[in-house]
Every structure is written in structure tokens, then in C-alpha cells.
Amino acid sequence: MPKYDEMSKILIRNIFLNNHTTDILIEGNRISLISDNIQARDAQILDGTGMAVIPGFANMHTHAAMTMMRGSQEDARLHKWLGEIWKMETRLDDELVYWGTKLACVEMIKTGTTFFNDQYFYVDSAVKAASEMGLRGAHSYVMLDLGDKEKMLRQRELCQKAYEESMNWNPQNIFEVGVHSPYTVSQENILWACSFARDHNLKVHIHVAETSQELQDSLKEHGCTPVQYLKDLGVLSKDIVAAHCIWLDNNDIDTLGLNGINVVHNINSNLKLSSGYKFKFQELEDAGANVCLGTDGVASSNNLDMMETMKTTALVQKAWRKDPTAIPLAQLISSATFNGYKAYGLDGGRICEGALADLCLIDIDNYSFTPNINFEANLVYSAHSDCIKTVICDGKIVMKDRYIEGEAEILSQVRKLYGKIVG
Amino acid sequence: MPKYDEMSKILIRNIFLNNHTTDILIEGNRISLISDNIQARDAQILDGTGMAVIPGFANMHTHAAMTMMRGSQEDARLHKWLGEIWKMETRLDDELVYWGTKLACVEMIKTGTTFFNDQYFYVDSAVKAASEMGLRGAHSYVMLDLGDKEKMLRQRELCQKAYEESMNWNPQNIFEVGVHSPYTVSQENILWACSFARDHNLKVHIHVAETSQELQDSLKEHGCTPVQYLKDLGVLSKDIVAAHCIWLDNNDIDTLGLNGINVVHNINSNLKLSSGYKFKFQELEDAGANVCLGTDGVASSNNLDMMETMKTTALVQKAWRKDPTAIPLAQLISSATFNGYKAYGLDGGRICEGALADLCLIDIDNYSFTPNINFEANLVYSAHSDCIKTVICDGKIVMKDRYIEGEAEILSQVRKLYGKIVG
């Protein structure tokens, strides 16, 4: 049995789960028992009356510290947008990433995310922020060299440095290798990064086939699609977490499926930047890929809300497929919870005995859940994230009754600092 | 000067408006003064510190009492969905409509709607509910005869009865004529209804060109589009409020524009039921139509949230047009506020002296508005409706610090009653 804070115990009483009211016992960082009338005299009690329990969300693609740029680039064309973002990113430093990530954690906790997959700069500061806030995360330094030889070597050093620093991270934070994309990272560095990842048993987090432009450029430069290019490099495996994958042909879908790729769909970002929206959710799952959901960074999607992401994902799938039965509720909710944890080999994102205690208590005594004929439908299509009252991550309470320790200071620091990057 | 509750006065102090902190004085049901440091000794004071003021939203197409059916029809094909809805609607009565509308009002107030356009049954009970809750509304009994002669006459009687009852409504509630659609109401009754509306200076609320099936059927039966059919009947004018209008050709757009039609876009309903999503927002406005937004009933869109509706509208417009500059923020916000009021000849949906005092105080001291570089972008793309703290409608406070009088009883009554219609 694991030693964990001398086995702290939390007992959630009278909570709604699977159309039934029950108790849940958390011991250490795992759910140890789900049963009616659990006795646990030494446990901290949470009263679940009028509430339901759901797994914490897994936000499988974001750039957390971009909260610093919220609302700075609106109604803008992609090239102008990207140019401004890259300009702002040159001004980043440890302090900005630390407080930007803190704000992202506040937002993710308030909206029920317990596990997030981050790709950004000054990773050690991001992890310091995430650790202090109590969230679970996978983190990568983003490699981006645009074929520049000097940058290529520097990027490898920075990746290695981040890996070394990760030895000091708490176990809730996983190091992974970050490759920006097949079109912004040289072939040599993609190969180096994926080989480094294999040697150290790490995941690789990469943007793939996000825009039509990327597809066209790849066809021109490599004579094949971005997915085919990565396949030909021999780097595709179940250790790849590929964000976007909007512009796929049938071969690409088969390739991603056969290799068990974790594909992250970021609907709000794709819609807002007009990148494309006909994501092949069902086809990818049928082929064998693990489809997860993400928000992307706040600079593109403006918030980090996975409940909103679930709803928009399903609505848009139903619309462009002209099929209102597309992506039923259970499949949708799995993609926002369980599938993300599965991508990293973690038993979380579900409420059952033995699973990681990453979960949310949500208020169902309100208009969004009245009547409560179909709880999952109310959760996805009727409610918003303000129904989330208490969040437990890794067996510890990170928000109680919407109170997060230190929140006011975080807001105040971001307001003081954002002017340093936003011109 | 109007006599109004002996000219009740509300003074909002230190509120954020147009990137500036100011005071707002409400006298009777209108905004009478916007200025710094207003003195008004006899006014009720609302402290606006850390808050911004926005106009109340105008939800220009809904069937309020459908809250009773929330979540009862999920992931279902349109025909099955409609069949089930119609079956449930045969079981409606005054009590169910009254409590269903009450719940809808709770939800609309909590999400910042101050004016709603309702089309349903047992209208007098719906208006009783809306009046008690303090909301502004336009209400119609929905005529639907499917060509049945007996029904046709009965529908006229019910419309006339509702009109007579409306003489006793409070002035916040406007009576209008409800015509379900060109395909469910006989030509005779469409003509009767529009003539009745003209005679009594009333608006007509109608569903038009919602689905591809409706368009195909119209082409087959009438040899023209639904819009052309209504034009040929001579019923199009600025007094028409036409919901959906998804399936239009260029002629239809010109026709709707030239006649100054009020067109209501209901993106969430259209997406969820796979009715179509390529709404010609910009083209309709350019042609001269007044584009408004709505949620449709909860049975199709699952909630009545106009903030969510604004965001989804803009995201989907940007996506299918492949243009991230589409529907800029000011245009979008107008469609959700000012345009709805304009459709009914009301000076509301904007914050200026002389306008109706229908407005919301929203909390901006939170993560969604941090940093607050672009307030409108934060409102639409980052925040959710839980930022809405206090709502004033017609100069009266209908929600303060998210407290609505009688809310618990309304939830409890709906939970008790919904079983009577949901099988």
C-alpha cells in the first residue's frame, strides 16, 4: 500500500453517482471504496447532499501561461495573429510564465480540470506554479527551430535542461518532449526529439495538421501529408500526443489509428481561428486512435473550460455530419476525461475503486439540472462550469465551495505584469 | 414624465462602462443619467465596485415552458425528436406552462436576459409567470393546423382569445401573433393571422426555412422557397419576426432585407438538431434585415443562455466562412441585445440616457476578465453567465447578487410536475 501523507482520508457522503446516492472514500491519492453508508471515523467529511460527483477533466492541449495575453488578439487573421503572438512570446520570462500558469490553474480548477497537458517556455516555472496549485500535469518545453542550425542545437540543450530539472518535480507532474510541429521543427530535430523521448520513456507532444496551409505546404515540400511525413520519419507510436489533426485524408486516419496515436481535438481554437472544423472524431476512434479534447491556449480560445469544450465539440460534430446522433454523451464525456488520463498511462478520469482521486463535486440543485431526467445531458448541454463547487486532485482538495487559496493575489499579480508582454 | 412606482430611483455607483468608471441613475423604468459622482439622496444605492454594466440580453426566439422537458430527448434524429416533443405537448396544461415558464425566467434572469420572445401554448399562464418574475416579453399562442379545417377555426379562436386576455397583461408583456411555420399552417390561416396582426398593430412570430427538408418540401409543393412563398402571400414586412432562416438563396436574402424582416438565428438548436449552420448573418444585415439571436426552446438547445449563444454564433460564423474577422464583437453583441429590442420598437438593449433600464451588473474581478485588455472579448469569449450578479428589468431589481425570490419553490414545483408530460 502506498504511503501518502500518512494516508489522508476523505469521505464524501450522500453524493449522486450513476443515478444513485452513495458514499465515496478516498485514501491517499486513490478512490478506495464506493458504497452506501461507509464508516471512516478518521476521515475528513465532505457533505455531498444536492451534489453529484464527476471525474476531473483532462485538458489534453494547452499553453497555460498564455492567460497573460487573454483578449489581446481578437477578430484577427491567422498570420497577423501568429505574428503578434510570437512577438509577445519573445518577452516572456520565468516570472511571467509562473504567474500566467498560476492564473491558468485557477481557471482550470474552477472549471473542473485536474490534469492538463502543457507545452510552453520556462517549463520549470510552469511546473512550480502547477505544483503549488495542486494540479496534475504533463509539461514540455516547446522546440521550434525553423531549420536554423544554431537554434537546433540550442533547442536540444533546452529540452535536455528541462528534462534534468524534471527530476526535482513532484510526481504529479510528468515531463514530456515538446515538438512544435512538422513545419516549424527541422527533420533532424524531430528525429532527435523522438529518439530522446524513446530513450527516456517519455511522451512527445506535437501540433499536427492544424491548418489547410500546413497541409498544402507539406504536400509541396515533402510530397505527402504531415501525418505521412511523420510516419515516414518512423516516429509515430502510442507515445505521440498529436494536437489538432484537422486536415487528414483516409490514409492519415488509418495511420493514426494503427499507431494508437493520442489525438487531441481543440474545437474552440479551430473555430475561432478558422482553421477547420470537420474533425474526424468517429473515424479516428474507429481506426484505433485515442481521441481526447483540449482547449488550446487562451490566446486562441480565450478560456480553458472543458465543459464548454465538450458542448461545442458535440454540437459541431452533429452539425457538419448532419447527424444529431453523432458522438453520444458517454463517448463525448470519455474523450474529455478518461481518454486523457489513458494517453499517459494513468488510471484516472473515471469514478471507480482504485482510480486516482481526481474528481469534482458539482451542484445539481439548480436550474441547469432541473428536471434531472438525463444527468449527462444536463452536464454537457445545459450546465456551465460554475456548477463545479469542490475539486479534488491526487487525493487533495484544491478548491472547496469555489474557494481557492491565493486566488486574489494571482489575479493581482497578472494585472500588474501582463503589460510586460502585451504591447 | 411617466409615473412609475412613484418614480423609484436606483443609483449604481462606480461601475465599469466603456473603459471608464462612472455612476448610472435609473428613474422609473429608464436610465436617466450617466455621469461621474451623481448625487441622488433618495435613490437605492447599488455598489458597482469590481463590476461592469451591460445591457440585458434579448432572447428573440424561445418556447419558455419547454424547460419541463430538459434532457428528455438526446442524441435523437429530428423526426423521432419532433414526434416525442409533439406527444409531450399534448399533455401540457396551464399549471405545467406556468411553472415551466417560471423556471425559464429563473434561467434567463441568471444568464442576463431581460427580454424574451416566446411562442407556446397556454399563453396567459406563461405571461402570469413572466410578470411575477419581472421580465419583459413578447408572447404568442402558436397556431398550427396542418391544413385541418376544424383546427383552423379553433386556432383562430384561440389566437383571438389570447389577444383579448392580453388586454389585462402588464405593459412589460407584448401580445403578438404566433404562426408555427409555412409548412404546418394552412395558407388561409397564415393570411388570417397576418391580417389579424395588421388590424391590431401586432408582430408575427414564425419559424421559417429551418431545415433542408422544409426547403425541399416547399419547392415541391409551392414551386418556390418558404421565403418566396410568404412573399407571394404578401405577408412580409418589418412586423415579421422570423426564426431560423437557415436555408435561404440569394433572392430570399434580398427579400428578407428589402422588407426589413427581423431574423432570429438560433445556433445551438440548429447545430444540435443538425438543421444547418451556414446562417447568412452578414449578408442578411447588408441586405437590410435586422439580425437577432435566440436560444430556441430547452428541448432543442438545452439551455437559455444568451452569452453562450453569442460565443457559439461567432465561432461558427468564423469557421464556416474561413474568416476569423467575421462578425466582430460590437456587431455580435448588438445582435444579442439592441437588435432584439429594436425589432419590437423598444429603446432598450443599450446603456445610454433615455433607454429602458434593462441591464446587468457583472463581476469582472475574476479570472475570466483577467487581464481586462478587451472587455467585450472577455465577455463573449472568456466569461460565462455566472459573472452576472444583479439584473434590473424595467427599472426593477429582479436578481441581486444571484438571489431570485422564490427560486427554490420553482425548482421544487418543476421536479414534482415534469413527470406529467415526460413519459
To the nearest 10°, the Cα dihedral for B47, B52, B56, B58? -170
Q: State the angle between helix axes of B149-165 and B123-133 in degrees (0 to 180), rounded to the nearest 10.
A: 30
Is A366 within 8 Å of B411 when comparing Cβ atoms?
A: yes
CB–CB of B398/B391 below 8 Å? yes
Predicted local confidence at residue A2, as pLDDT: 42
pLDDT in tens, B112-152: 999 999 999 999 999 999 999 999 999 999 999 999 999 99
Q: Residues 242..301 of A with a Cβ closer than 8 Å to B: which?
A: 268, 270-274, 276-277, 298, 301
pLDDT at A317: 98
Residues of B with CB below 8 A from A305's CB?
384
Q: Which residues of B touch A321 (CB under 8 A)?
A: 274
Angle at Cα A99 formed by Cα A95 and Cα A102, nearest 5°?
Answer: 145
Residues B31 and B354: their CA atoms lie apart, in Å, by 5
Q: What mean pLDDT value characterizes chain A?
A: 96
Q: Identify the pLDDT of residue A1.
A: 40
Q: What are the tens digits of pLDDT across the range A282-320? A: 999 999 999 999 999 999 889 999 999 999 999 999 999
Among B124, B118, B153, CA closest to B136? B118
* Percentage of chain B modeled with pLDDT above 90: 94
Pairwise CB contact (< 8 Å): A324 & B277: no
Q: pLDDT class for A88, splitting at 50, 70, 90?
A: very high
Q: What is the pLDDT of residue A4?
A: 53
Q: What is the mean pLDDT of residues B357-363?
A: 98
- Single-letter amino acid code for the residue at B210: E
Contact: B371, A68; criterion CB under 8 Å: yes
Cα nearest neighbour of B307 on chain A: A384
Asked if A319 and B277 come within 8 Å (Cβ–Cβ), the reply is yes
CB contact under 8 A, B106 and A320: no
Counting residues of chain A whose pLDDT is more than 70, the rounded percentage is: 99
Judged by CB atoms within 8 Å, which residues 64-83 of B form the interface with A?
67-68, 70-72, 74-78, 81
- Predicted local distance difference test score (pLDDT) of residue B332: 98
Q: Is the pLDDT of residue B408 over 90?
A: yes
Q: What is the mean pLDDT of residues B68-83?
A: 89
3-state class (DSSP) for residue B366: coil
Q: Pick from A70, A106, A323: which is nearest to B378 by CB? A: A70
Compute the nearest-CA separation of B211 from chain A (Å): 11
Q: Which CATH superfamily is domain A9-55+350-402 in?
A: Urease, subunit C, domain 1 (2.30.40.10)
Q: How far is B417 from chain A (nearest CA, A)?
A: 9
**Reported pTM:** 0.97
Q: How far A75 CA lies from chain B's nearest CA (Å)?
A: 4
pLDDT at A423 over 80: no
pLDDT attached to residue B4: 54
- Smallest CA–CA separation between B373 and chain A, in Å? 6
Angle at which helices A149-165 and A187-199 pack, to 10 degrees?
20
A270 CB neighbours in chain B (<8 A) are 319
Contacts of A76 in chain B (CB under 8 A): 324-325
Pairing relation of β-strands B388-393 and B396-399? antiparallel
Band of the pLDDT at B77, cuts 50, 70, 90? Answer: confident
> Which of B367, B414, B418 is most worth mutating to test chain A (most A CB atoms within 10 A of its CB)?
B367
What Å distances lie between residue B406 and B106, B129, B260, B403, B412, CA to CA? 9, 12, 40, 9, 10
Q: Which of B72, B325, B381 sits opposite A76 (nearest CB)?
A: B325
Give me A126's grid cell. 510552469
CB–CB of B70 and A415 under 8 A?
no
Question: Which fold would CATH assign to domain B9-55+358-407?
Answer: Urease, subunit C; domain 1 (2.30.40)
| pLDDT for the residue numbered A77 | 84
Residue type, A146: L
Candidate from A305, A324, A366 with C-beta closest to B76:
A324
Q: Are the beta carbons of A77 and B325 separated by less than 8 Å?
A: yes
Rounded mean pLDDT, A341-364: 98
Residue B299 backbone class (left: φ over 0; alpha: ψ -120 to 50; beta: rest): alpha
Distance (Å) of CA A39 to CA A35, A36, A45, B275: 10, 9, 11, 52
Q: Which pLDDT does position A34 carry in this prediction?
A: 98
pLDDT at B216 over 70: yes
Q: Write the residue in B71, B78, B308 that is nearest to A377 by C-beta.
A: B71
Question: How do residues B5-62 score in pLDDT, each as one tens digit?
Answer: 557 999 999 999 998 999 999 999 999 999 999 999 899 999 999 999 999 999 999 9
Read off the pLDDT of residues A153-175 as tens digits, 9 standing for 90 and up: 999 999 999 999 999 999 999 99
Nearest Cα of chain B lies from the Cα of A28 at a distance, in angstroms, of 30
Q: What cell was used for B14?
A: 462606480
Query: How far is C-alpha B375 from the geometric centre of its chain's CA atoms?
Result: 24
**B298-319 tens-digit pLDDT:** 998 899 999 999 999 999 999 9
Optimal mutation site among A19, A309, A315, A323, interface B, most CBs of chain B within 10 A: A315
d(CA A125, CA A106): 16
Neighbouring CB atoms inside 10 A of B419's CB total: 11
Q: Inform me whether the C-beta atom of residue B385 falls under 8 Å from chain A C-beta atoms.
A: yes
Q: Which residue of chain B comes nearest to A412, CA vs CA?
A: B370
d(C-alpha A287, C-alpha A251), whole Å? 10
Rg value, chain B, Cα: 21
Over 70: is that where the pLDDT of A220 sits?
A: yes
Chain A, window 305-364: residues with a beta carbon less than 8 angstroms from a chain B beta carbon: 305, 308, 311-312, 314-316, 318-326, 328-329
Asked if B126 and B98 touch (Cβ cutoff 8 Å), the reply is yes
Nearest CB neighbour to A303, from listed B72, B368, B411: B368
Return the DSSP state at A234.
Answer: T
Residue carrying the nine cell digits 494536437: A243
Q: What is the residue-averaged pLDDT of chain B? A: 96
Q: What is the model's pLDDT at position A5?
A: 55
Question: Chain B partners of A326 at a C-beta cutoff of 8 Å?
Answer: 75
User: Do residues A68 and A421 lie in contact, with contact meaning Cβ atoms separated by under 8 Å?
Assistant: yes
Map residue B12 onto helix, strand or coil. Answer: strand
Asked whether the predicted pLDDT for residue B3 surpasses 70, the reply is no
Q: Is A366 in Cβ contact with B274 (below 8 Å)?
A: no
The full length of chain B comes to: 423
* CATH class of the domain defined by A57-343: alpha beta
Chain B contact set for A324 (CB, 8 A): 75-78, 81, 272-274
CA atoms within 13 A on the CB side of B310: 29
- A residues 97-116 lying closer than 8 A (beta carbon) to B: 103, 106-107, 110
What pLDDT, on the 0 to 100 scale, is given for residue B1?
A: 41
**How far off is chain A from B207, nearest CA to CA, in Å?**
19
Q: What would the 3-class secondary structure string for B186-214 be?
A: CHHHHHHHHHHHHHCCCCEEEEECCCHHH
Nearest to A422 among B71, B106, B373 (CB): B373
pLDDT digit string, tens, across residues A177-208? 999 999 999 999 999 999 999 999 999 999 99
The domain segmentation of chain A, as residue ranges, is 9-55+350-402, 57-343
Q: What is the mean pLDDT of residues B221-237?
A: 98
Task: Give yes or no for B211 touching A (CB within 8 A).
Answer: no
Q: A152 and chain B: CB distance < 8 Å anywhere?
A: no
Q: Do B373 and A272 touch (CB under 8 A)?
A: no
- Chain A residues with CB under 8 Å of B415 CB are 370-372
Are A378 and B71 an interchain contact pair (Cβ–Cβ within 8 Å)? yes
Distances (CA, A) of B78 to A319, A373, B149, B211, B275: 12, 20, 27, 10, 9
Which of the residues A75, A77, A386 would you substitute to probe the B interface, choosing the one with the greatest number of B C-beta atoms within 10 Å?
A75
Residue A393 predicted with pLDDT over 80 = yes
Do the domains B57-343 and B9-55+358-407 match in fold?
no
Is the pLDDT confidence value at A7 over 60? yes
Mean pLDDT in residue range B243-264: 98
Backbone angles phi, psi at A264, to 5 degrees: -110, 120
Residue B2 has pLDDT above 60, yes or no: no
Residue-wise pLDDT for A247-279, tens only, equals 999 999 999 999 999 999 999 999 999 999 999
